[in-house]
A and B are shown apart, each in its own frame.
Chain A
């Protein structure tokens, strides 16, 4: 293979600079260019709260801090139209929603990127969800390594790292007052072609350090303690506000319902929560998970047992938002450690 200077790779490198670093000004230039061709969804402050939202100006993007909720809603919307029922001249027709735009989710933390990957595995499994697949196809993720950890963070305990680049298209890592920029995928390479990369000497990458607790053997321990009274005890203080599931970077349960908008019927897909009474109630009134304990157990069994059995890893990325949001301090980190402790105990009991 020739290393001639006319190879496309070198051409593009010359156009964008040979380097792999972006100054903070360079980052704004890049964002400006991305905004010309993409919807850019990035952390920005609204009413004092940091949210992923569409931005129109590079200076509105805030890359310090942690968003109140993950950007999962931009691939798996809180509410979306599956189709509209049009009635014209006595005939009924179903109209598909408009095609999703090309979008960049900018400044996505590794935990949130992994959350989207976890949702991908469900929605893209055969038979793939067409609407989700089209939106995902048109979405690129620009990741941002965490240079600081927040008190609720525990990603490393679940095998992630604050600079884990496995689920993003481009990875940015803060180093001093510049960003190291690395294309992870072909999609990312194309995005970075628009960036004014420089050769400026980089400082030391700033990557958060987190304390780690062991999580090995979690799925078997969940199974061993499935019938434990523990779940009812933990659920006692739950006020079933469902916030844990809505702020979760991974939770993807949804409801499908019809809504009347003007003269049109829309079939909607909306986030739902397994913590809600009625989630499994069938026509006639029978509710299979009638107690809070059974619903609490479902949340953790799905995350720590069923999903791992299906896809090989927990449906949790350690973002800790459920810990922050829970009004009654139900803490998944404590639950994981309790279950592991019980798991050892029951195994010992059986051995005796």
Chain B
């Protein structure tokens, strides 16, 4: 459970309270050996404060530092936000399973993200865009409380212009300059009426959004097995030992965090 020492290379706000940290593992051998996949996560340490489990937002197959999108919500995330570029932090991982993207080849993909829930979806989107000839149409619904809370805005243009890709942005409340949609994410799903035929939906967001998105998708005829999500749970080890992240008999750290809803339906415990 000892992390690699790493250096903060760059830190930039992507919303009012979300900062993307670009991190490089100091030891070149460990850096080279560190392989991860979309959906996996790492523990990021602010030494003296603690460590938290955070999903990768960097795109594994693209060269570059590891990136984590940290929303300032607790003590560790606040400490990570305070770090100066050049500061030392800790990284250990990767942990957990991943989105089985190769199984989705030939299918249409519907991505539904809310707020910071876009974080694990960002490497998925960029993977799909870089391999678009292997997949069908890509629809991205990205919602947030306000226009300022839409994560990864710097990439919207690229995503929107990509072949056979549709980007739909929506906010709960607009402002003076917002000309886009003002609607809740589930309402957008129902308006767009994506066809469940040969389609996989990957969704992540606040539990309340997920609940209503599920209802909307079911109305449209999606089966639980076609809907994939990634669960968030408090965890301390990432390797199935601290006995904290289990939802019923499943350990989010090792059995997940990526699950289909037909798997989740069999969990004894709610999450």
Chain B at the A interface: SS class: loop
A-B contact count (CB 8 A): 103
In contact, B77 and A283 (Cβ under 8 angstroms):
yes
**Cβ–Cβ < 8 Å partners of A305 in chain B:** 249
Within 8 A of A (CB), among B248-271: 248-249, 268-271
Interface size for B (C-beta < 8 A) is: 39
Contacts of A252 in B (CB 8 A): 241, 243
Q: Is A85 positioned at the interface, with any CB of B under 8 Å from its CB?
A: yes
Question: Is A3 located at the chain interface by the 8 A CB criterion?
Answer: no
Alpha-carbon distance A133/B263, docked complex (angstroms) = 33
B230 within 8 A of A: no
Q: Are A223 and B268 in contact (CB under 8 A)?
A: yes
Q: Which residue on chain B has the smallest CB distance to residue A223? A: B268
Q: Are A282 and B233 in contact (CB under 8 A)?
A: yes
Q: Which of B242, B243, B248 has the most CB of A within 10 A?
A: B243
Query: Of A131, A280, A309, which one neighbours B244 at CB under 8 angstroms?
Result: A280
Query: Residues of B contacting A284 with CB < 8 Å?
Result: 73-74
B217 within 8 A of A: no
How many residues of chain A are within 8 Å of chain B by beta carbon?
Answer: 44
What is the distance, in angstroms, from A286's C-beta to the closest C-beta of chain B?
Answer: 7
Which of B49-57, B137-145, B168-176, B192-200 is the interface stretch?
B49-57
Q: How far is the CA of A226 from the CA of B271 in the complex (A)?
A: 15
Judge if B88 is at the interface, Cβ distance under 8 Å: yes
Known contacts A283-B52, A283-B73, A286-B207, A256 near B242 by CB under 8 Å:
yes
Instruction: With both chains docked as a complex, state the minimum distance between the C-beta of A195 and any C-beta of chain B, in angstroms.
Output: 36
**Residue A57 at the chain B interface, CB threshold 8 Å:** no
Which residues of chain A (190-243) have a CB below 8 Å from chain B? 223, 226
Q: Which of B1, B49, B242, B247 contacts A253 (CB 8 A)?
A: B242
Q: Is A74 an interface residue when CB atoms closer than 8 A count as contact?
A: no
- In Å, the complex CA distance between A122 and B244 comes to 13
B188-238, CB < 8 A from A: 207, 232-234, 236-237
**When chains A and B are docked, how far (Å) is the Cα of A267 from the Cα of B77?**
17
Contact between B47 and A306, CB atoms less than 8 A apart: no
Q: Are A256 and B243 in contact (CB under 8 A)?
A: no
A-chain residues with CB within 8 Å of residue B239 when the two chains form the complex: 127, 129
Residues of A within 8 A of B268 (CB): 223, 226, 301
Q: Is the CB of B236 within 8 A of A255?
A: yes
B28 at the A interface (CB under 8 A): no
**CB neighbours of A134 from chain B (8 A):** none
| A269 near B1: Cβ-Cβ < 8 Å | yes
On chain A, the residues within 8 Å of B2 by CB distance are 82-83, 94, 96
A1 within 8 A of B: no
When the two chains form the complex, which single residue of B77, B88, B233 contacts A288, counting CB atoms closer than 8 Å? B233
Q: Is B167 an interface residue (CB 8 A)?
A: no
Residues of B within 8 A of A260 (CB): 48
Given A129-B1, A256-B1, A123-B241 contact (CB < 8 Å): yes
B5 / chain A contacts, CB cutoff of 8 Å:
92-94
Interchain CA distance A254-B234 in the complex, whole Å:
12
Cα distance, A280 to B50, chains bound together (Å): 16
The DSSP consensus for interface residues of chain A is mixed
The answer to whether A122 touches B241, judged by C-beta atoms less than 8 angstroms apart, is yes
Interface check A279, CB cutoff 8 A: yes
CB distance from A214 to the nearest CB of B (A): 24
For residue A93, which residues in chain B have a CB less than 8 angstroms away from its CB? 5
Interface string of A292-317 (1 = CB under 8 A from B): 00100010011001100110000000
Residue on B nearest A92 in the bound complex, by CB: B88
When C-beta atoms are compared, the residue in chain A nearest to B7 turns out to be: A92
Are B271 and A288 touching (Cβ within 8 A)?
yes
Bound Cα distance A165, B49 (Å): 44
* A residues less than 8 Å from B76 (CB atoms): 283
Chain B residue contacts of A127, Cβ below 8 A: 239
Q: What is the CA–CA distance of A123 and B242 in the complex, to the nearest angstrom?
A: 9
Partner of B246, one of A258, A265, A272, A306: A306
**Contact indicator B243/A274 (Cβ below 8 Å):** yes
Q: Are the C-beta atoms of A302 and B47 separated by less than 8 Å? A: no
Cβ of A189 under 8 Å from chain B:
no
Question: Are the C-beta atoms of B240 and A125 separated by less than 8 Å?
Answer: yes
Task: Find residues 43-99 in chain A having any chain B CB closer than 8 Å to their own CB.
Answer: 82-83, 85, 92-94, 96
CA distance A215 to B233 in the complex (A): 32
Of the residues B48, B90, B234, contact of A280 by C-beta under 8 Å: B234
Identify which of A85, A96, A267, A283 gathers the most chain B CB atoms within 10 Å of its CB: A283
Q: How far is the CA of A260 from the CA of B50 in the complex (A)?
A: 11
- Chain A contacts of B48 at CB under 8 A? 85, 258, 260, 265
Residues on the B chain within 8 Å of A341, using CB: none
> 23 A-B Cβ contacts within 8 A?
A122-B241, A122-B243, A129-B1, A226-B269, A256-B50, A256-B51, A258-B47, A260-B48, A272-B242, A274-B243, A280-B233, A280-B244, A282-B234, A283-B52, A283-B73, A283-B74, A286-B207, A288-B234, A288-B271, A298-B246, A301-B248, A302-B243, A310-B249
7 further interface pairs, Cβ-Cβ under 8 Å (given A85-B47, A260-B48): A96-B2, A122-B241, A223-B268, A255-B236, A256-B51, A288-B270, A302-B246
Binding site for A on B (CB under 8 A): 1-3, 5, 45, 47-52, 71, 73-74, 76-77, 88, 90, 207, 232-234, 236-237, 239-249, 268-271
Counting from the closest, the 3 A-B pairs by CB-CB distance are A283-B74, A92-B88, A283-B73
